[in-house]
Amino acid sequence: MTRSHRSFAATAAACILGAILAFCSGVTLARQIHSERSLYRNILVTEEGSMRCLQFSVRKDQRNQSCVNLRHPKRMVFTYTRMMMASLLLQPDPHRILIVGLGGGTLPTALQEMYPDSQIVVVEIDPAVDEVARRYFHFRPTGNTRVVIQDARVFGKRLVRELSQHPGKEKKFDLILLDAFNGDYIPEHLMTREYLEETRGLMSDDGVLAANTFSISRLYDHESATYEAVFGPFLNLKSGVSANRIILASRAQLPGVVILKNRARKLNKRLKPYAVDLTEYVNRLSRRRDWDSLAKILTDQYAPANLLNAD
Protein backbone atom coordinates (compact mmCIF):
# COMPACT_ATOMS: atom_id res chain seq x y z
CA MET A 1 0.00 0.00 0.00
CA THR A 2 1.40 3.40 -0.96
CA ARG A 3 1.72 6.31 1.46
CA SER A 4 -1.20 8.08 -0.21
CA HIS A 5 -3.33 4.93 0.07
CA ARG A 6 -2.42 4.53 3.73
CA SER A 7 -3.26 8.17 4.36
CA PHE A 8 -6.59 7.81 2.61
CA ALA A 9 -7.39 4.61 4.52
CA ALA A 10 -6.51 6.21 7.85
CA THR A 11 -8.62 9.25 7.09
CA ALA A 12 -11.56 7.09 6.02
CA ALA A 13 -11.25 4.95 9.16
CA ALA A 14 -11.16 8.06 11.35
CA CYS A 15 -14.25 9.45 9.66
CA ILE A 16 -16.13 6.17 10.04
CA LEU A 17 -15.12 5.88 13.70
CA GLY A 18 -16.15 9.46 14.34
CA ALA A 19 -19.52 8.86 12.70
CA ILE A 20 -20.05 5.70 14.77
CA LEU A 21 -19.18 7.49 18.02
CA ALA A 22 -21.44 10.39 17.15
CA PHE A 23 -24.30 8.03 16.30
CA CYS A 24 -23.85 5.96 19.47
CA SER A 25 -23.72 9.04 21.69
CA GLY A 26 -26.65 10.69 19.98
CA VAL A 27 -24.49 13.68 19.01
CA THR A 28 -24.17 15.15 15.55
CA LEU A 29 -21.67 17.72 14.45
CA ALA A 30 -23.10 21.22 14.65
CA ARG A 31 -22.54 23.62 11.79
CA GLN A 32 -20.42 26.65 12.64
CA ILE A 33 -22.03 29.83 11.36
CA HIS A 34 -19.88 32.43 13.09
CA SER A 35 -16.42 32.55 14.63
CA GLU A 36 -14.32 35.40 15.95
CA ARG A 37 -11.60 36.18 18.41
CA SER A 38 -12.67 39.15 20.52
CA LEU A 39 -10.50 41.03 22.97
CA TYR A 40 -11.62 38.68 25.78
CA ARG A 41 -12.38 35.23 24.30
CA ASN A 42 -13.07 33.04 21.30
CA ILE A 43 -16.70 33.34 20.25
CA LEU A 44 -18.46 30.66 18.24
CA VAL A 45 -22.02 30.38 17.04
CA THR A 46 -23.13 26.90 16.00
CA GLU A 47 -26.34 25.56 14.55
CA GLU A 48 -27.74 22.04 14.64
CA GLY A 49 -31.27 21.53 13.41
CA SER A 50 -33.42 24.19 15.06
CA MET A 51 -30.90 24.81 17.86
CA ARG A 52 -28.49 27.74 17.63
CA CYS A 53 -25.89 28.11 20.38
CA LEU A 54 -23.30 30.61 21.55
CA GLN A 55 -19.99 29.24 22.81
CA PHE A 56 -17.09 30.91 24.64
CA SER A 57 -13.62 29.51 25.09
CA VAL A 58 -10.64 31.03 26.88
CA ARG A 59 -8.19 28.30 27.83
CA LYS A 60 -10.17 25.11 28.19
CA ASP A 61 -12.96 23.42 26.29
CA GLN A 62 -15.77 25.28 24.59
CA ARG A 63 -19.10 25.38 26.36
CA ASN A 64 -22.52 26.54 25.29
CA GLN A 65 -23.27 29.84 27.00
CA SER A 66 -26.65 30.43 25.42
CA CYS A 67 -28.95 28.61 23.01
CA VAL A 68 -32.14 29.47 21.17
CA ASN A 69 -34.67 27.11 19.63
CA LEU A 70 -35.33 28.78 16.28
CA ARG A 71 -38.75 27.13 16.02
CA HIS A 72 -39.75 28.27 19.51
CA PRO A 73 -37.52 31.29 20.21
CA LYS A 74 -39.24 32.27 23.47
CA ARG A 75 -38.67 28.93 25.18
CA MET A 76 -35.71 28.99 27.53
CA VAL A 77 -33.41 26.15 26.49
CA PHE A 78 -31.08 26.04 29.48
CA THR A 79 -32.05 24.90 32.96
CA TYR A 80 -30.16 27.76 34.60
CA THR A 81 -32.02 30.52 32.72
CA ARG A 82 -35.34 29.05 33.82
CA MET A 83 -34.00 28.80 37.36
CA MET A 84 -32.90 32.45 37.30
CA MET A 85 -36.53 33.43 36.78
CA ALA A 86 -37.18 32.10 40.30
CA SER A 87 -35.90 35.50 41.41
CA LEU A 88 -39.39 36.77 40.55
CA LEU A 89 -40.71 34.73 43.47
CA LEU A 90 -38.88 37.15 45.76
CA GLN A 91 -39.45 40.25 43.64
CA PRO A 92 -42.53 39.81 41.41
CA ASP A 93 -42.80 43.45 40.33
CA PRO A 94 -39.34 44.88 39.53
CA HIS A 95 -39.27 48.43 38.18
CA ARG A 96 -35.51 48.66 37.68
CA ILE A 97 -33.49 45.61 36.67
CA LEU A 98 -29.73 45.15 36.36
CA ILE A 99 -28.35 42.16 34.43
CA VAL A 100 -24.61 41.45 34.54
CA GLY A 101 -23.59 39.37 31.53
CA LEU A 102 -25.49 39.40 28.25
CA GLY A 103 -24.75 36.07 26.56
CA GLY A 104 -27.36 35.55 23.87
CA GLY A 105 -29.76 37.97 25.57
CA THR A 106 -32.23 35.34 26.84
CA LEU A 107 -32.88 36.94 30.23
CA PRO A 108 -33.21 40.60 29.18
CA THR A 109 -35.41 39.61 26.24
CA ALA A 110 -37.84 37.72 28.49
CA LEU A 111 -37.88 40.39 31.20
CA GLN A 112 -38.48 43.28 28.81
CA GLU A 113 -41.43 41.34 27.36
CA MET A 114 -42.85 40.58 30.80
CA TYR A 115 -42.19 44.05 32.24
CA PRO A 116 -42.33 46.49 29.30
CA ASP A 117 -42.48 49.54 31.59
CA SER A 118 -39.45 48.54 33.65
CA GLN A 119 -36.02 50.06 33.15
CA ILE A 120 -33.44 47.37 32.32
CA VAL A 121 -29.67 47.87 32.30
CA VAL A 122 -27.48 45.12 30.86
CA VAL A 123 -23.75 45.31 31.61
CA GLU A 124 -21.51 43.35 29.22
CA ILE A 125 -17.74 43.72 29.00
CA ASP A 126 -17.38 42.45 25.44
CA PRO A 127 -18.86 44.49 22.57
CA ALA A 128 -18.52 41.46 20.29
CA VAL A 129 -21.00 39.54 22.48
CA ASP A 130 -23.52 42.37 22.14
CA GLU A 131 -23.17 42.29 18.36
CA VAL A 132 -23.53 38.49 18.20
CA ALA A 133 -26.60 38.53 20.47
CA ARG A 134 -28.32 41.04 18.20
CA ARG A 135 -27.31 39.34 14.95
CA TYR A 136 -27.85 35.68 15.79
CA PHE A 137 -30.06 35.45 18.92
CA HIS A 138 -32.96 37.86 18.32
CA PHE A 139 -31.82 40.28 21.03
CA ARG A 140 -33.70 43.51 20.33
CA PRO A 141 -33.42 46.02 23.18
CA THR A 142 -36.54 48.14 23.61
CA GLY A 143 -36.52 51.82 24.51
CA ASN A 144 -36.43 50.89 28.21
CA THR A 145 -33.43 48.55 27.85
CA ARG A 146 -29.91 49.93 27.83
CA VAL A 147 -26.74 47.92 27.14
CA VAL A 148 -23.59 49.24 28.82
CA ILE A 149 -20.30 47.95 27.42
CA GLN A 150 -18.14 47.97 30.53
CA ASP A 151 -16.58 45.76 33.16
CA ALA A 152 -19.29 45.10 35.74
CA ARG A 153 -16.93 45.96 38.60
CA VAL A 154 -16.17 49.35 37.10
CA PHE A 155 -19.87 49.96 36.44
CA GLY A 156 -20.76 49.11 40.03
CA LYS A 157 -18.04 51.23 41.60
CA ARG A 158 -18.97 54.27 39.54
CA LEU A 159 -22.68 53.94 40.27
CA VAL A 160 -22.06 53.46 44.00
CA ARG A 161 -20.01 56.65 44.02
CA GLU A 162 -22.70 58.49 42.05
CA LEU A 163 -25.38 57.36 44.48
CA SER A 164 -23.33 58.53 47.45
CA GLN A 165 -22.97 61.97 45.90
CA HIS A 166 -26.53 62.22 44.59
CA PRO A 167 -28.76 59.89 46.62
CA GLY A 168 -31.81 58.76 44.70
CA LYS A 169 -33.98 55.73 45.20
CA GLU A 170 -34.91 55.72 41.51
CA LYS A 171 -31.32 54.86 40.59
CA LYS A 172 -31.26 51.67 42.64
CA PHE A 173 -32.37 48.28 41.36
CA ASP A 174 -35.24 46.06 42.49
CA LEU A 175 -33.75 43.02 40.76
CA ILE A 176 -30.12 42.20 39.99
CA LEU A 177 -29.14 39.11 37.98
CA LEU A 178 -25.49 38.06 38.03
CA ASP A 179 -24.80 35.86 35.02
CA ALA A 180 -21.24 36.68 33.99
CA PHE A 181 -19.07 33.84 32.70
CA ASN A 182 -15.80 34.16 30.83
CA GLY A 183 -15.64 30.66 29.34
CA ASP A 184 -14.11 28.96 32.40
CA TYR A 185 -16.14 30.30 35.34
CA ILE A 186 -17.27 33.53 36.93
CA PRO A 187 -14.57 36.23 36.67
CA GLU A 188 -12.82 36.24 40.02
CA HIS A 189 -13.25 39.97 40.68
CA LEU A 190 -17.04 39.45 40.47
CA MET A 191 -17.06 36.89 43.28
CA THR A 192 -15.43 38.74 46.15
CA ARG A 193 -16.95 40.24 49.29
CA GLU A 194 -15.99 43.73 48.10
CA TYR A 195 -17.85 43.30 44.82
CA LEU A 196 -20.95 41.86 46.49
CA GLU A 197 -20.96 44.71 49.02
CA GLU A 198 -20.81 47.21 46.16
CA THR A 199 -23.62 45.37 44.41
CA ARG A 200 -25.71 45.30 47.59
CA GLY A 201 -25.33 49.06 47.69
CA LEU A 202 -27.09 49.23 44.31
CA MET A 203 -30.17 47.38 45.57
CA SER A 204 -33.40 49.03 46.67
CA ASP A 205 -34.72 48.35 50.17
CA ASP A 206 -36.65 45.30 48.93
CA GLY A 207 -34.15 44.52 46.18
CA VAL A 208 -33.39 40.92 45.19
CA LEU A 209 -30.23 39.40 43.75
CA ALA A 210 -29.92 36.13 41.82
CA ALA A 211 -26.49 34.69 41.02
CA ASN A 212 -25.83 31.84 38.60
CA THR A 213 -23.15 29.53 40.03
CA PHE A 214 -22.30 25.81 40.04
CA SER A 215 -23.14 23.31 42.78
CA ILE A 216 -20.03 21.21 41.99
CA SER A 217 -17.54 24.06 42.02
CA ARG A 218 -14.44 23.71 44.21
CA LEU A 219 -15.37 27.19 45.37
CA TYR A 220 -18.81 26.17 46.63
CA ASP A 221 -18.05 26.57 50.35
CA HIS A 222 -16.16 29.83 49.81
CA GLU A 223 -18.83 31.30 47.54
CA SER A 224 -21.56 30.41 50.02
CA ALA A 225 -19.66 31.86 52.97
CA THR A 226 -19.03 35.06 51.02
CA TYR A 227 -22.69 35.56 50.06
CA GLU A 228 -23.77 34.86 53.64
CA ALA A 229 -21.26 37.41 54.96
CA VAL A 230 -22.73 40.10 52.72
CA PHE A 231 -26.45 39.24 52.58
CA GLY A 232 -27.08 37.05 55.60
CA PRO A 233 -29.37 34.03 55.06
CA PHE A 234 -30.15 33.31 51.41
CA LEU A 235 -32.04 30.72 49.37
CA ASN A 236 -30.33 27.97 47.40
CA LEU A 237 -31.92 26.60 44.26
CA LYS A 238 -30.22 23.56 42.74
CA SER A 239 -31.06 21.64 39.61
CA GLY A 240 -31.85 17.95 39.71
CA VAL A 241 -30.49 17.42 36.19
CA SER A 242 -27.50 19.75 35.95
CA ALA A 243 -24.77 21.26 38.10
CA ASN A 244 -26.40 24.67 38.23
CA ARG A 245 -27.04 26.46 41.49
CA ILE A 246 -28.85 29.78 41.80
CA ILE A 247 -28.24 31.89 44.89
CA LEU A 248 -31.22 34.09 45.80
CA ALA A 249 -30.56 36.90 48.25
CA SER A 250 -32.65 39.83 49.37
CA ARG A 251 -32.21 43.05 51.32
CA ALA A 252 -35.65 42.43 52.84
CA GLN A 253 -36.78 39.44 54.87
CA LEU A 254 -37.01 36.25 52.83
CA PRO A 255 -40.66 35.30 52.14
CA GLY A 256 -42.24 32.15 53.53
CA VAL A 257 -43.42 29.12 51.57
CA VAL A 258 -47.08 30.20 51.43
CA ILE A 259 -46.18 33.55 49.85
CA LEU A 260 -43.80 31.85 47.41
CA LYS A 261 -46.49 29.38 46.29
CA ASN A 262 -49.05 32.15 45.77
CA ARG A 263 -46.59 34.17 43.72
CA ALA A 264 -45.66 31.12 41.65
CA ARG A 265 -49.31 30.51 40.72
CA LYS A 266 -49.80 34.14 39.70
CA LEU A 267 -46.61 34.29 37.63
CA ASN A 268 -46.83 30.93 35.88
CA LYS A 269 -49.32 32.04 33.23
CA ARG A 270 -47.01 34.85 32.16
CA LEU A 271 -44.01 32.51 32.19
CA LYS A 272 -45.60 29.71 30.17
CA PRO A 273 -44.25 30.96 26.78
CA TYR A 274 -40.73 30.67 28.23
CA ALA A 275 -41.25 27.07 29.43
CA VAL A 276 -40.82 28.15 33.06
CA ASP A 277 -42.85 26.60 35.89
CA LEU A 278 -42.08 28.33 39.17
CA THR A 279 -44.19 25.94 41.25
CA GLU A 280 -41.61 23.20 40.76
CA TYR A 281 -38.93 25.47 42.25
CA VAL A 282 -40.75 26.45 45.43
CA ASN A 283 -40.23 23.13 47.19
CA ARG A 284 -36.61 22.99 46.04
CA LEU A 285 -35.66 26.33 47.54
CA SER A 286 -33.44 25.58 50.52
CA ARG A 287 -32.41 27.70 53.47
CA ARG A 288 -30.13 24.96 54.80
CA ARG A 289 -26.48 25.83 55.32
CA ASP A 290 -24.84 22.98 53.41
CA TRP A 291 -21.33 24.39 53.28
CA ASP A 292 -18.34 24.54 55.58
CA SER A 293 -19.01 27.44 57.96
CA LEU A 294 -15.25 27.83 58.44
CA ALA A 295 -14.58 28.31 54.73
CA LYS A 296 -12.53 31.40 54.00
CA ILE A 297 -14.42 34.34 52.52
CA LEU A 298 -13.39 35.40 49.02
CA THR A 299 -11.88 38.87 48.90
CA ASP A 300 -9.97 40.99 46.42
CA GLN A 301 -6.79 39.71 48.10
CA TYR A 302 -7.97 36.11 48.40
CA ALA A 303 -9.42 35.36 44.98
CA PRO A 304 -10.69 32.16 43.32
CA ALA A 305 -7.52 31.84 41.26
CA ASN A 306 -5.57 31.29 44.49
CA LEU A 307 -7.78 28.31 45.27
CA LEU A 308 -7.97 26.79 41.82
CA ASN A 309 -4.21 26.88 41.37
CA ALA A 310 -3.47 25.45 44.81
CA ASP A 311 -2.03 21.94 45.07
What are the catalytic residues? 179
Sheet with 31-37, edge to edge strand ranges: 31-37, 42-48, 51-57, 63-69
Each residue of 40-75: b (16+ CB within 10 Å) or e?
bbebbbbbeeeebbbbbbeeeebebbbbbeeeeeee
> What Rg do the C-alpha atoms of the chain give, in angstroms?
21
CA dihedral 178, 183, 189, 194 (to 10 degrees): 30
SS3 label, residue 285: coil
| DSSP label at residue 298 | P
How many angstroms separate the CA atoms of 265 and 54, rounded? 32
H helices of the chain, in order, are 3-25, 79-84, 106-114, 127-136, 152-165, 193-200, 220-231, 257-271, 279-282, 304-308
CA–CA distance, 67 with 45 (Å, rounded to integer):
9
User: Angle 26-27-31 (CA atoms, 0-180°, nearest 5)?
Assistant: 150
Question: What b/e string do you get for 109-130 counting C-beta neighbours within 10 Å, with b at 16 or more?
Answer: bbbbebbeebbbbbbbbbebbb
From the list 223, 298, 244, 276, the residue with the least C-alpha distance to 114 is 276
Residue type, 121: V
AA identity, residue 36: E
Compute CA distances 89 → 108, 125, 149, 239, 249, whole Å: 17, 29, 29, 17, 11
